[in-house]
Structure 1
Amino acid sequence: MTTFRSPQYLHQVLQGFANQSVREFEIVVGEDGRTEQTRAVIDSFATRTDFQIRYVSQTHQGFGKTRILNRAIDAAASDYLIFTDGDCVPRRDFVAQHLRLAAPGRFLSGGCYRLNRELTNRILASKVAYNEFTDPGWLKQHGNDVPAKWLWIQGHPGLAKALDLATTTRPTFNGHNASAWKSDVVRANGFNHEMRYGGLDRELGERLENAGVLGMQIRHRAVCYHLDHDRGYVNDQDWQRNREIRRLVRKTGVTRAVEGLDQIRAA
């Protein structure tokens, strides 16, 4: 996962991983621009949990998410990688679902429930507990707009697989909730350093698919809760540039980024 000057958000995300139903994993946090506040959050969790937390950082020089993601990939010890963001709190079975459904020649495309700003602020202020805001029933009872399907799944978990099979939404590589074999990501040369904000994760998925690694939909089985925040870094110019890069990737069948993981390792 990556983070950028948001220690309160990271605290909630790590709290979510501390509540996972399986414990055999490590966390790699990549920070674009080292801050003592972020390091303090990580160090605090490292002393209170039974899984390893690695920390990598880089000098902040403009939008650097693809570079710090590649540093995190390089630092990861496991042969299977689950990707999320420093503002997405995992449901209790998040890691278990990704590991259970991992398959050769596949990447997994998970889903998220987006929390509103008012609730996010209450969570950051520790006024709402983890087991409350990750409970669709609790969210519904406290005035949040919860689609009926999440309440159905809560009462009948087996429906999640059926909904994943029935959905017409294409499985894409989502940075907030996706997983893949490290060997497949390495062959693709990781994240493309040419990409700015807006589809940088999906571009990796499109290269994986060009190489024969196909996406599988698990959006109703592996869920995270997205904390709301401003996005002052978004602009139309970057979106248009990224769309053109992705169009060429799909058209030409590109499988490797020209500038990516290899360049991080070489440096």
Structure 2
Amino acid sequence: MPDISVIISTYNAEAWLEKVLWGYSCQSFKNFEIVIADDGSGPKTKELIEDFKAKGILDINHVWQEDEGFQKSRILNKAIEACKADYIVMSDGDCIPRADFLEVHNQYKQKGYFLSGGYFMLPMDISLKINKEDILSGNCFDLKWLSDNGLKRSFKNNKLTSKGLKSELLNALTPTNASWNGHNASGWKQDIVAVNGFDERMQYGGQDRELGERLFNLGIKSKQIRYSAICVHLDHKRGYKTPESINKNLEIRAATKNEKKKWTDYGIVKK
């Protein structure tokens, strides 16, 4: 049995997903499975996954549903049910994990808590330039390599260079809330199931945060690891982002907070 199940969401983005899977192929922590939460991708995604499985590189379970528009919450719930491990790490098919990514999540996991990580956003030109060798060698996490390829100076670059005491200090000092972030978060499967997973009424915009808010209402606390568990985020368009979905989700989140909801009637278990 795996110690960790990694849920990776994807939709018709094979070039990015391939880079992400190469990132998981060189993790220092080895006892994990990957559950692909596929929101209706075409055959190219299946071919890519089957190729990785055939090579025996990764233990992958491909969970797929029909394409009915942006239904990420629904496919994530199906992926949660499919997870074999007691502990779940969630990320996206556009986030390449550093080699110690799962090791950090495993190190910091604790009963009664979930972990809140972040990401390092890359511009499109560098996202396209990264290849398999850059991932396996760790170049895509190396600040010098990224700077040589056009990355601008920023305080956020500390995410790539922080280790040990420095990362602990920045985790403690960051003003960013330790929320559940779909691109980099982890928690116990029993806790996620106890709040009934994701609210399937919610499309793009904050459905991950709302899950975390119900976990808080359940009494689960959070720990900040945004400067410790590192993944680089590949750039892409977001055609599924609409004002309507954002506003609808804000209303649902407000009700969750105001009514201190621990459970959604629109999650894994249906009303």
TM-score w.r.t. the length of structure 1 is: 0.93
1:135 aligns with 2:142: yes
Structure 1, unaligned stretches of length 5 or more?
A: none
Question: Residues 155 and 203 of structure 1: is their aligned pair in 2 closer, same or farther, counting only changes over 3 Å?
Answer: closer
Query: Hey, what does 2:154 align to over in structure 1?
Result: 147
- Hey, what does 1:222 align to over in structure 2? 229
Distance 1:186 1:153 in 2: 33
Q: CA separation in 2, counterparts of 1:156 and 1:28?
A: 29
* Match in the other structure for 2:194: 187
> Could you tell me how far 1:168 is from its partner in structure 2?
2.0
Residue 213 of structure 1: aligned partner: 220
Q: In terms of mean alpha carbon deviation, does 12-21 or 126-135 score higher?
A: 126-135
How many angstroms does 1:48 deviate by? 2.8
Q: Give the Cα–Cα distance (whole angstroms) in 2 for the partners of residues 198 and 216 of structure 1.
A: 22
Determine if contact 1:136/1:151 at 8 Å carries over to the other structure: no
Q: Kindly tell me: are residues 146 and 22 of structure 1, through their superposed partners in 2, closer, same or farther at Cα, counting changes over 3 Å?
A: farther
Superposed CA deviations along residues 142-183 of structure 1, whole A, max 9, x for unmatched, are: 320243464586375431011101222110100000000000
Question: Counterpart amino acid of 1:59?
Answer: E
Partner residue, 1:75: 82
How do 1:79-158 residues align onto structure 2 when only pairs under 5 Å count?
79-123=86-130, 126=131, 129-130=134-135, 131-148=138-155, 150-151=157-158, 154=161, 156-158=163-165
Q: Distance in 2 between matches of 1:151 and 1:33?
A: 36
Q: Is the 8 A contact 1:152 1:159 kept in 2?
A: no
Residue number among 47, 53, 56 corresponding to 2:54 in the alignment: 47
- Of 235, 243, 246, the residue aligned with 2:250 is 243
Partner of 2:65: 58
How far does residue 18 in structure 1 lie from its aligned partner after superposition?
0.3
Q: Number of aligned pairs?
A: 262
Which deviates the most, 50-59 or 16-25?
50-59
Residue type at the aligned position of 2:223: M
Give distance in 2, aligned partners of 1:85 and 1:152.
18
Whole-Å separation in 1 of the counterparts to 2:200 and 2:159: 41
Helix, strand or coil at the partner of 1:21: coil
Cα distance in 2 for residues equivalent to 1:166 and 1:100: 20
Question: Partner residue of 2:4?
Answer: none
Provide the C-alpha distance between the structure 2 equivalents of 1:58 and 1:21, rounded to a whole number of angstroms.
31
With normalisation by structure 2, the TM-score equals 0.92
Give me the whole-angstrom Cα distance separating, in 2, the residues matched to 1:62 and 1:150.
Answer: 35
Question: Partner of 1:26 in structure 2?
Answer: 33
Q: Distance in 2 between matches of 1:118 and 1:146?
A: 16
Matched letter for residue 129 of structure 1: D
1:262 counterpart SS class: coil
The range that moved more, 252-261 or 29-38, is 29-38
Partner of 1:204: 211
Identity %: 39
Structure 2: gaps spanning 5 or more residues: 1-7
Q: Tell me which moved more, 57-66 or 154-163.
A: 154-163
CA shift in 2, pair 1:127/1:58, >3 Å: closer
Cα distance in structure 2, aligned partners of 1:82 and 1:164 = 19
